[in-house]
């Protein structure tokens, strides 16, 4: 069995920190999550600014946190800013709590499982560079999440869209878009199906 790349495991464990705002969104007042995400975004912006202005600090960051960021992010803004901004915009744009919550779960578990399986077992690549194996796992994970909350038809459609969104090679951080698009589609679907 192929080994899972250690850097990918580190990134996906870090990815699981999004569970803080996901479950916070579910259990604490919305304004608190909006405030918390806004503060976190400002902190990340200052951190990134300082990192790029101070070469020694950036080198320290690159040497000691290797694996938590993609190699191409070493000298660019990290994906964390896109993740937090996507979450904040999703909460501000969509008001159906269930749809937003599920879109966050799709992002956290569907995207992570697709990346891990795709890196290890992904032999059949799409033109997007993503693998059939990773996409199938993303679909299964999102569908399982969905059936705990919705009926199977709604869960199926949501999982299909989440898988397509995950497979698209976004120019701007996919962590940003996946949350917004999935929440938008689920909200649209819930209005259409009167769910």
pLDDT above 70 for 59: yes
Tell whether the torsion through CA atoms of 164, 175, 28 and 9 is positive or negative: positive
pLDDT at 9: 67
pLDDT tens by residue, 66-105:
666 666 666 777 778 889 999 999 999 999 999 999 999 9
- What spatial distance separates the first Cα and last Cα of the chain, rounded to whole Å? 43
Where does the pLDDT of residue 142 fall: very low under 50, low under 70, confident under 90, or very high at 90 and above? very high
Tell whether the torsion through CA atoms of 29, 35, 48 and 181 is positive or negative: positive
Burial of 30 (0-12, 13-18, 19+ CB in 10 A): middle
Alpha-carbon span 126 to 133, nearest angstrom: 10
What's the rounded mean pLDDT across residues 53-71? 75
Which residue has 């994906």 as its token pair?
A: 79
What's the rounded mean pLDDT across residues 169-184? 84
Structure tokens at 17: 């920190």
Q: Where are the domains of the chain?
A: 6-192
pLDDT at 85: 94
Structure tokens at 43: 């902190």
pLDDT at 120: 74
The pTM of this model reads 0.84
Average pLDDT of the chain is 85
Cross-strand bridge partners of residue 125 = 131
Alpha-carbon span 170 to 111, nearest angstrom: 13
Which residue has 């020694």 as its token pair?
A: 56
What's the rounded mean pLDDT across residues 20-36? 93
What's the rounded mean pLDDT across residues 124-152? 88
Question: Rounded to an integer, what is the distance from CA 180 to the centroid of its chain?
Answer: 10
């Amino acid at each position: 069995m192929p080994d899972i790349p250690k850097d990918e495991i580190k990134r996906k464990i870090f990815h699981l920190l999004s569970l803080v705002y996901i479950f916070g969104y579910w259990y604490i007042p919305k304004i608190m999550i909006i405030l918390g995400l806004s503060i976190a975004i400002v902190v990340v912006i200052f951190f990134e600014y300082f990192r790029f202005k101070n070469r020694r600090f950036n080198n320290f960051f690159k040497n000691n946190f290797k694996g938590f960021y993609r190699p191409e992010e070493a000298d660019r803004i990290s994906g964390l800013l896109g993740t937090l901004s996507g979450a904040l915009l999703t909460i501000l744009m969509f008001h159906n709590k269930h749809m937003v919550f599920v879109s966050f779960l799709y992002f956290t578990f569907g995207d992570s499982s697709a990346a891990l399986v795709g890196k290890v077992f992904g032999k059949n690549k799409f033109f997007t560079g993503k693998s059939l194996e990773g996409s199938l796992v993303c679909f299964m994970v999102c569908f399982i999440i969905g059936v705990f909350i919705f009926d199977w038809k709604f869960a199926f459609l949501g999982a299909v869209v989440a898988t397509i969104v995950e497979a698209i090679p976004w120019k701007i951080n996919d962590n940003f878009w996946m949350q917004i698009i999935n929440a938008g589609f689920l909200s649209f679907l819930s209005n259409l199906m009167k769910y």
